[in-house]
Structure 1
Amino acid sequence: MTDMNKRVSGAPGRTSWQREAVGFVLGLAVLAMLPLVFTDSYSRHILIMAFIYAMVASNWDLSLGYGGVFNFGHLALFGIGVYAYALLTKLAGMDPWVALVASGVVATLAAVIVTIPILRLKGIYIILVTFGFAQLVMQIIISQSDITGGTQGIVRIPGLYIFDHNMVRDGKIGYFGIALTLLALSTIFLRVLVRSRIGASIVALRDNEEYAISRGVSLVRQRMITLAASAFFTGVAGAFYAAYQRNASIDVFGMSLATIVLSMVLLGGTGTIYGAVIASFVLTVFAEAMADFGAWRPMITAVLIILVMLVYPSGLVGMIQAAWGGLGGRLRRPT
C-alpha cells in the first residue's frame, strides 16, 4: 500500500475498513429479513422503490457531495437507463439481464458526453449545462415517438427473470432480492471508490481546487471519473425500474422525481453515501405514511426536511452520529 493510501485509510475520524464492513453486513442482513416482517405485496413494493431511490440518490451524492459538481442532469441518466432497457429488450430483443448491464454502460457513456462541455466550468454554468442536457434528452425521446412512444411511453417491457421462478405470483420477493442485491453492489462500489486514492483526490478538488491542481491532481480526469462513476449504477437503477414497472415514461425526467431524490441526498447528509441510503428509506416510508394527507403531504415532508437541516446541518447522518456519541459518552461515564 502506498503512503497516500495509508493516509487515506487512516484519516482521523474515519471508520476502519473492518468496522464498516461489519456494519454493512449487519445492515444488509436486517434489510434481507424485512420480507419476513412485511409479507404483503404492497409493503414490499414500497421497499423496492426505496431501494431504487437509494441507488440513484447515493450515486448523485458521489458527484454532488464528494465531487462538489452540481450535476442537475443526474436524473436524466436514470431516465436514459429506463429507455435504454426498454428499447434493448422490447425492440432489439436483448436478454433482460444483459440489457440491465448495457443500460448502465449507456448511461455512463452519456455522462462522459455531458462531462466534456463542463470540464472547465464552475457553479451556475454547470447547473445550466446539465439541466439543459436533461431537457435535451427528454425532447429527443418525445420527438422520436415512432421508436420511444413519445409522450405515451413504452409498455409491456420484458421483466427480469430468475431461472424458472415465477416473478409475477411470488409476492414481489424476487424483485425485492434483486433490488437489494443491486443496492448492495452499488453501495460497495461507491464506498470503495470514495475511500480510495481516487476518492481522496475527488474530495481534494472539491475542498481546494487550486491547491489540489498544484499538487498534481487533474481536474479534467477526476471530474470525468466522478460523473462517469456516478452514472453506471444510476443507469442500472433506471433499467431495473423499467423491468419492475414494465413501462417507460417521460415522467422520469420530471422535476418532481428530481426534487424527491435531491431531498434524499440533502436530508441524508452530503458526502456520506450511507446518508442518502438512509434518507431514501425515511422519506419513502414517511411519504407513504402521509398518503391520507393529500396535498399536505409534500408540505409536511418539506417542513420535516427543513427542521432536520436546521438542527443537524449534516443531515440524518449527523443526527445518528450525535445520538451515538451521546450514548457512548453515557456508557463510558463512571457510575
Structure 2
Amino acid sequence: MANKRQLFAIAALFAALAFVPLFVTDSYIRHLFIIAFVYAVIASNWNLSLGHCGVFNFGHLTFFGIGVYTAAIASKTFGINPWIAMLLGGGTAALSALLLAAPVARLKGIYVVLVTFAFSQLALQLVLSQSQITGGAEGMVRLPFLQLGSYSFLKDFKFGYYYVGLLLLALSCLFLAFLSNSSFGKSLKAVRDAEDYAAARGISVARQRILALTLSAIFTGIAGGFYAIYLRVASPEVFGFGTLSLALSMVLIGGVNTVFGPVLAALVLTFATEAMAGLQGFEDARFIVIAVAMILVLRLAPEGLVDLLGKLRLPVRPART
C-alpha cells in the first residue's frame, strides 16, 4: 500500500489541479492540461499490462484509437448522446483487448510485440479502408459537443472539459490503485517476476494476462472517446507511432512500478514538449531531448521519476511492488 506521504502528495496534486481553472483563464493552457490528462490516463493504464504484468503490449494505443472512432461514429452517425458515446468507447476498447489477449496470452518476448503491433496496423487499415463509415484518411470532423442540460461546453473557454478530463483521470487512478493493491494486482506481479512459480502456486498465467490487457483498455477507450468529443475530430493519426512513443516515454520516465508515476510524467512531458515546440531549433529535436531524458532517468532511477524524487528527499516515494 502507498504510504501516507505518497497519499498526501497525490491528494495535494489533485487538489491543486482542481483549482487551476479558477486562476488560469487562458483557454490554451487549459487545453494543454486536458491533453495531459488524456495522456496520463493512457500511460497509467498501459502500465497495468506493461509494468504490473510484464506484457509488452505494443497495441495499447489501438485501444485508444478504437475509443476515438467508437465515440465519433456513435455520436455523429447514430446520434447517440456524446456522454454515452464516450463510455461506449471504453466498452469496444475492452472487447477488442479481449480479442487481442486470446492469442497473446500464451506468447512471450518478441512474439507479443509482433502480434500486438500487427493488431494496431490491422485497426489502422480497417479505419482507412472503411471510409464510408470512418471518413478514411480525412477522418471525421464536427463531432457533437458535450452539454449538461442547457449548459454548453463549447463556449466556456474549456472550463467544463477541464473538469471532465480531471474527473476521468481521478477515476482511472482510483481504479488502478485498487487493482494494484488487490490480490489480483499481487498475482499480476507474481506473473511478471516469476511466471513458473506463479503457475506452481495455482495462478493461471494466461487468464491473468487476458484480464490485465482487458482491464487496461477500459479507461484507455473512454479517454479516446473523450479526446474525440473534446476535439470534435477523429483522425487516423491517433494510431501513429509518434503518439505511441510519447505515451511509452511517459510510462518509462514516470515509473513502471507505480500508478501515479506516469501521471506525473504526462503532466511534465506535455508541457515540456509544447514549450520546446515554441523554441527555434527545437521543433523537431524535442523528441530527441525526451529520448535523452528518458535514458538519464532510467539510468539514475530505474523505477522512474517518482523514485528519483524520493532520492532527492521530496515528499513523494513510490510504493514498492
CA displacement, residues 74-107 of structure 1 (integer Å, 9 cap, x when unaligned): 0000000000000111111111111111110110
Question: What is the correspondence of 1:1-335 to structure 2 with a 5 Å cutoff?
Answer: 14-16=1-3, 21-291=7-277, 292=279, 293-324=282-313
Runs of 5+ unmatched residues, structure 2: none
One-letter amino acid matched to 2:183: R
CA–CA distance in 2 between the matches of 1:78 and 1:325? 33
Report if the CA contact (8 A) 1:162-1:174 is conserved.
no
Report if the CA contact (8 A) 2:146-2:152 is conserved.
no
One-letter amino acid matched to 1:268: G
Report if the CA contact (8 A) 1:202-1:222 is conserved.
yes
**What SS does structure 2 have at the residue aligned with 1:168?**
helix
**What SS does structure 1 have at the residue aligned with 2:108?**
coil
Report if the CA contact (8 A) 1:86-1:248 is conserved.
yes
Calculate the aligned-residue CA RMSD, in Å: 1.7
Q: 1:143 to 1:44 in 2, by over 3 A?
A: same
Give 1:9's aligned residue: none
Question: By how many angstroms is 1:38 displaced?
Answer: 2.1
CA–CA distance in 2 between the matches of 1:93 and 1:270? 39
Question: By how many angstroms is 1:221 displaced?
Answer: 1.5
One-letter amino acid matched to 1:32: A
CA displacement, residues 94-151 of structure 1 (integer Å, 9 cap, x when unaligned): 1111111111011000000000111210011011000000000110111111111110
CA displacement, residues 193-252 of structure 1 (integer Å, 9 cap, x when unaligned): 010000000000000000001001011221111011100000000000000110100000
Aligned length: 314
One-letter amino acid matched to 1:191: A
Question: TM-score under structure 2 normalisation?
Answer: 0.94
Q: 1:25 to 1:193 in 2, by over 3 A?
A: same
Question: TM-score under structure 1 normalisation?
Answer: 0.90
One-letter amino acid matched to 1:209: E
CA–CA distance in 1 between the matches of 2:134 and 2:296? 42
**What SS does structure 2 have at the residue aligned with 1:59?**
helix
One-letter amino acid matched to 2:192: R
CA–CA distance in 1 between the matches of 2:81 and 2:306? 39
Report if the CA contact (8 A) 1:213-1:219 is conserved.
yes
- The structure number with the bigger radius of gyration is 1
CA–CA distance in 1 between the matches of 2:229 and 2:302? 37
CA–CA distance in 2 between the matches of 1:294 and 1:327? 32
Give 1:3's aligned residue: none
One-letter amino acid matched to 2:107: L
CA displacement, residues 273-311 of structure 1 (integer Å, 9 cap, x when unaligned): 211000001100111111122222222222222222222
CA–CA distance in 2 between the matches of 1:251 and 1:326? 38
- Percent identity over the alignment? 48
Runs of 5+ unmatched residues, structure 1: 1-13, 329-335
CA–CA distance in 2 between the matches of 1:185 and 1:21? 15
